[in-house]
Amino acid sequence: MHPHADPRSPATRIDEQAIRALPKAEVHIHLEGTFSLHDMLVLAKESGVSLPGPARTIFDISTHDDFLAPSVTTGGGTGAGSAGLTGFLRFLDWQCGLVRTPEQAARVAYAFAARQTASGIRYADVIVNPTHWNAWRGREIELLSALSEGFDEAAQDGLCETGIAYSLLRSQTAREAEDIVAALTYQRPDRVIALSVDGDEKVTGRTGEKFQTAFARAAVAGLRRTVHAGESSGPAGVWDALDLLQAERIDHGVRSIADPALIERLVRDEISLGVCPRSNVSLGIYPDWASHPLPRLLEAGVRVTLNTDDPVPLGTTLEADWAVAAAQFGFTEADLTGFARRSIEASFASDDLKRDLLAELDAHEAASTS
């Protein structure tokens, strides 16, 4: 990376095809943010539901407050703490509410794996927040099983391998969180490999103490831990994630840059940040790419991965975001290979799969430099 590159100056564009060719993982992506327009049109027809607005503007985040009435659930996804975020989260509720049968859920999962594969992603830790999936309340384990069937079929067809991070909603109670962990521990749904928490931290405030017991039990049960923090609020949420929730990875975490002691802790403990620059800019966390702290985090030695968060409503793909990041910050192809390596290392993939993917990346790098 060019640590002092001027983000406003032109840089050599790295072709997206070259980025797709890099073996890599994605560790911060929400299944709820990957429904294509085609997916929604088919699901709406099957459910006899009308679209909440014109199809051509359904992914326009700025319109979501206008055409979606408030719903009970307002969680998951990203977290800017703005009116736009509120509407966006309601939109996710509506969208996921279209999925009502196991067959539909499996189809959504298969489509996710196919979409990831098209970006050259070999493995994904996908975040699933069942509070969005209205038809599955009280049947969350059945939803996970249906999704797993779709991921299984995709893997059998040679598509991206996927692990599920079950995400709590910040506004859920401590008892609800503990009951969820108990169910996950007892029933052990296929492909559920981690516990997560997401939602708007600016609205809910600090939730580390509330979920401390649930995350401790998840750790004992062998579930990995990843926490949304340091996005719409400051570094305090990241400290809570580390000290109270035993987080192995932080989703977003960009506000950590304001606290030198926290940066030191992240570097010392090799905690990776699943950063999503386009999401941060689209939802108003930062005004533009040039203002984003991604280069400063890297310069400080933080292990950073580049991810899409909710790619379809944000109108992006992983290769597109990597190409923009390279152009904005002067990243070279070697830098992007570093992002690919860190994505594999930070993932919750099995040790065997990590070894195979890193070997594939080594071979790709050797061929590219020979």
Is the alpha carbon torsion for 20, 118, 355, 124 positive or negative? positive
Task: State residue 356's pLDDT score.
Answer: 98
Partners of 67 in beta bridges: none
Q: What is the pLDDT of residue 27?
A: 98
At 36 the pLDDT is 95
- Given a contact cutoff of 8 angstroms between Cβ atoms, the answer to whether 313 and 64 are in contact is no
For 197, the 3-state DSSP assignment is strand
CA–CA separation, 176 and 194 (whole Å): 17
Question: Nearest-CA neighbor of 14 among 286, 317, 326?
Answer: 326
Contact 198, 252 (CB under 8 A): no
Q: Whole-angstrom Cα distance, residue 29 to residue 27?
A: 6
User: Tell me, what's the pLDDT at 180?
Assistant: 97
In SS3 terms, 150-193 reads as HHHHHHHCCCCEEEEEEEEECCCCHHHHHHHHHHHHHHCCCCEE
Task: Give the Cα separation of 149 and 155 in Å (integer).
Answer: 10
Q: How many CB atoms lie within 10 A of CB 330?
A: 20
Count of helix runs (H) and strand runs (E) in the chain: 16, 8
Catalytic residues: 231
Tokens describing residue 95: 């969208």
DSSP conformational letter for 132 = G
What kind of fold does domain 16-369 have according to CATH? TIM Barrel (3.20.20)
Q: Which amino acid is at 12?
A: T
Task: Write down the pLDDT at residue 132.
Answer: 95
- Phi/psi at 353 (nearest 5 deg)? -65, -40
| Amino acid at site 49 | V
Structure tokens at 8: 């406003």
Per-residue pLDDT of the chain (370 residues; tens, 9 = 90+): 444 444 444 456 799 999 999 999 999 999 999 999 999 999 999 999 998 888 988 888 655 554 444 433 333 444 334 445 667 778 889 999 999 999 999 999 999 999 999 999 999 999 999 999 999 999 999 999 999 999 999 999 999 999 999 999 999 999 999 999 999 999 999 999 999 999 888 788 888 899 999 999 999 999 999 999 999 889 999 999 999 999 999 999 999 999 999 999 999 999 999 999 999 998 889 999 999 999 999 999 999 999 999 999 999 999 999 999 999 999 999 999 999 999 999 999 999 999 999 999 999 999 988 7
b/e code 286-307 from CB counts within 10 Å (16+ = b): beebeebbbbebbebebbbbbb
By CB atoms closer than 10 A (0-12, 13-18, 19+), residue 18 is: middle
pLDDT of residue 255: 97
- As a whole number of angstroms, the distance between CA 130 and CA 47 comes to 19
User: CA torsion, points 292, 297, 326, 290, in degrees to nearest 10?
Assistant: 20
Per-residue model confidence (pLDDT) at position 81: 41
Cα–Cα distance for residue pair 213/198, rounded to 1 Å: 17
Q: Which two tokens stand for residue 336?
A: 């992007």
Cα–Cα distances in angstroms (integers) from residue 291 to residues 69, 213, 288, 309, 329, in the given order: 33, 37, 6, 19, 11
* CA count, 13 A, side-chain hemisphere, 284: 11
Residue with tokens 């326009």: 60
Kindly give the pairing relationship between strand 224-229 and strand 192-198. parallel
Tokens representing residue 133 in the block: 């999936």
Q: What is the rounded distance in angstroms from the CA atom of residue 226 to the CA atom of residue 249?
A: 5
* Element containing residue 296 per DSSP (H, E): helix 294-299
The pLDDT of residue 6 is 45
